[in-house]
Amino acid sequence: MLTEQLGEEGYSEKEVQETVDRLIWQENPPLTLPQKEQIRKNLLYSVGKLDVLQELMNDTAVTEIMVNGYRKIFYEKDGVIRRWEKSFPSRERYEDVIQQIAGACNRVVNEQKPIADARLENGARVNVVLPPVALDGAVLTIRRFPDDPITMQRLVEMDSITEEAAEFLGDLVQARYSILIGGGTSTGKTTFLNALSGSIPEGERIITIEDNAELQLRGISNLVRLEARDASMEECREVSIRDLIRTALRMRPDRIIVGEVRGAEAVDFLVCLICTI
């Protein structure tokens, strides 16, 4: 009924809300206010891009969402992984959400290319693995970052780093030393890089290169953000991290920040280090 009311044309979030409210108030027999609020929330989430996952995305304390097939959803909150009691209504709806996420970032994910990285509008990082690689159904992992980037001072307050170490690293950044950040999964590499960027002096030209844009650099006016692109079904050529590093060297950078190095681009990354950029 909701899709019939909205029609097949594009519709805004406001139109969806108005249509949902109208349908709920017309319900017979009348519903209680709590029932109406719950139905309204469920309908809005079902029409939205993330469906049942939207509720978890709206919780700022949730840092990771893990979907193992359409029936099993887990999330990380306050450092603890829990299973969620909700699930997608069907495998088809779950796969539709995955394709919407990938398509919004010009990513292709299918049986021929079953692994893809993408990002949401709010900057959250997304990883998708489809069958036949994922044996028990499509796997969707969403890593969300703080709405307000964590600063070096905040890390000191959290006892994640000492005041002396923070000052030392800040001096290295200002002196334009080449810095390599390494660590395991979910150890805060991106968060730490964002914090370090706060020590970059004003007036420098910064170029960031990423598979999927995750960095949240603030206070830099001369900032160029580059993002890699996969080859698409429309015969668009792949633009790799390696391609972007080579291009960035011709863009008169003061600094090049590469989000992640894990392949052949390591050679060009070393060239950047030799060039002391």
**pLDDT, tens only, 23-58:** 666 655 566 666 656 555 655 555 556 888 988 998
Instruction: For the chain, give every residue range classified as CATH 3.30.450.90.
Output: 52-144
> Tell me, what's the pLDDT at 6?
46
**What is the arithmetic mean of pLDDT over 157-165?**
93
pLDDT at 134 over 60: yes
More confident residue, 76 or 234: 76
What percentage of the chain exceeds 70 in pLDDT? 78
CATH code for the part of the protein at 152-274: 3.40.50.300
For the cut 90, the answer to whether the pLDDT of residue 123 exceeds it is: no
Tens digit of each residue's pLDDT (9 = 90 or more) over 201-210: 989 999 999 8
* Nearest partner of 116 among 91, 136, 96, 99, judged by Cα: 99
Q: Say which residue, 59 or 22, is predicted with more confidence.
A: 59
What is the amino acid identity at position 186? Answer: S
- The secondary element (H helix, E strand) that includes residue 257 is strand 255-258
Tell me the average pLDDT of the chain.
83
pLDDT over 70 (residue 241): yes
Q: How many CB atoms lie within 10 A of CB 274?
A: 9
Q: Work out the percent of the chain whose per-residue pLDDT is above 90.
A: 41
* Upper half-sphere CA count for residue 206 (Cβ side, 13 Å): 24
CB 209 within 8 A of CB 202: no
- What's the topology of domain 52-144? Beta-Lactamase (3.30.450)
How confident is the model over 111-120, as a mean pLDDT?
A: 89
The reported pLDDT for the residue numbered 223 is: 95
For residues 217-227, one letter each, b for 16 or more C-beta atoms within 10 angstroms of the residue's C-beta and e for the rest, the string is beebeebeebb
Complete DSSP assignment for 29-41 = SPPPHHHHHHHHH
Q: How far apart are the first and last CA of the chain?
A: 58
Whole-number Cα distances in Å, 40 to 27, 88, 89? 12, 17, 16
The model's confidence at residue 225, banded by pLDDT at 50, 70 and 90, is very high
pTM score, whole prediction: 0.71
Residues 168-194 have a mean pLDDT of: 90
Q: Is the pLDDT reported for residue 232 higher than 70?
A: no
Helices (H) and strands (E) in the chain, counts: 10, 9
pLDDT band at 7 (very low <50, low <70, confident <90, very high): very low
Side chain identity at 240, as an amino acid letter? S
Residues in the chain: 277
Q: Is 206 helix (H, G, I), strand (E, B) or coil?
A: strand
CA–CA separation, 49 and 100 (whole Å): 7
**CA distances to 23, 87, 115, 258 from 242, in Å:** 52, 39, 20, 10
- Every domain range in the chain assigned CATH 3.40.50.300: 152-274
pLDDT band at 5 (very low <50, low <70, confident <90, very high): very low
Q: Is 60 exceeded by the pLDDT of residue 67?
A: yes
For residue 2, name the pLDDT band (cuts at 50, 70, 90): very low
